[in-house]
Amino acid sequence: MAAVAARELRDGEVVFVGIGLPNLACNLARATHALNLVLIYESGAVGAVPERLPVSIGDPALVTGSLMVCGMADVFQLFLQSGRIEVGFLGGAQVDRYGNINTTVIGPYERPAVRLPGSGGAAEIAVHAQRTLIVAKLNARAFPERVDFVTSPGQRSGGRTRRELGLPGAGPVKVITDKGILEADRATGEMTLAALYPGVSVDDVQAGVGWPLARREVLGTVTPPSETDLHLLREVLDPKRLYLRSKGDGKTE
């Protein structure tokens, strides 16, 4: 997933890096095809060039050698709300049919079965980034038809489109999973199967999605991570397996 997600980033783009797997994907992209990727972290590091994989988005290695360090009021107002972030990169406990993300609660808000961390900067990233990429492992609990709580708005929330809601960014354009890639349909905003990993069937993906999954007429095949990608991920970027927690199935890479 990290390697596949990294490919979505183009050299020179300004990317707002979220916690978890997005952090790994962005640093892989910077180490391979996107040397001039501008990494902005909500902690205030702009143009970060971390010499070690940041353990959190507030890691001291994000500061050393960066282009700028600013306060968080500047991050959210001058960079994000002003529309200067090209790509937002988000993960989430639940992702639904329209790419709404839940990182707040499983169950009712007032009496949650599971209390998740909450928005952090995710709500505003989903509102303002010019486009958003979502990375999440596929399973039916994580991909319900409707999320329990909309923390970060997707293509359609409460029956209203992004345009109707007045959301400036394009919202989630792709969901990168460990079995395939979903893309937002331009007309309906629905997350639609666009590509499969080698050896994965449409039924395999459908089994991990809680709504009848639409698919493109022609499905692409996801190119597996290269030897270079795997070497960088396993030996250079994340030798301690902070993010690559897959149990030998290789899918997290």
Partner 1 sequence: MGDASKVLSMREAVSRFVRDGDTVVIEGFTHLICFAAGHEIIRQGRRNLTLARLTPDLIYDQLIAAGCARKLVFSWAGNPGVGSLHAFRRAVEGKEASALEIEEYSHFGMVARFSAGAARLPFWPLRNYSGTDLPRANPRIKAVLCPYTGETLAAVPALNPDVAIVHAQRADAAGNAQMWGLVGVQKEAAFASARVIVVVEELVDESVIRSDPNRTVIPGMIVSAVVVEPWGAHPSYAQGYYDRDNDFYVAWEAISRDTAKVGRYLDEFVYGVPDRAAYLAKQPQLAARLKAKERRSSGVNYGF
Residue numbers of the site for partner 1 (CB under 8 A)? 19, 42-45, 55-60, 62-64, 69-73, 76, 80-81, 100, 104, 109, 111-124, 127-128, 149-154, 157-158, 160, 162, 165-168, 242
| C-beta closer to partner 1: residue 75 or 195 | 75
Closest distance between partner 1 and the C-beta of residue 205, in Å? 26
* Residue of 42, 86, 183, 253 with catalytic role: 42
* Comparison of 38 and 105: residue with beta carbon closer to partner 1: 105
Closest separation in Å from C-beta 137 to partner 1: 15
CB of 18 to partner 1, least distance (A): 11
Please indicate whether residue 217 is annotated as part of the active site.
no
**Helix/strand/coil (H/E/C) assignment for every residue in the chain:** CHHHHHHCCCCCCEEEECCCHHHHHHHHHHHCCCCCCEEEECCCEECCCCCCCCCCCCCHHHCCCCCEECCHHHHHHHHHHCCCCCEEEECCCEECCCCCEECCEECCCCCCCEECCCCCCHHHHHHHCCEEEEECCCCCCCCCCCCCCCCECCCEECCEEHHHHCCCCCCEEEEECCCEEEEECCCCCCEEEEEECCCCCHHHHHHCCCCCCCEEEEEEECCCCCHHHHHHHHHHHCCCCCCCCCCCCCCCC
Closer to partner 1 by Cβ: residue 46 or 194? 46
Report the nearest approach of partner 1 to the CB of residue 227 (Å): 28
Q: List the catalytic residues.
A: 42
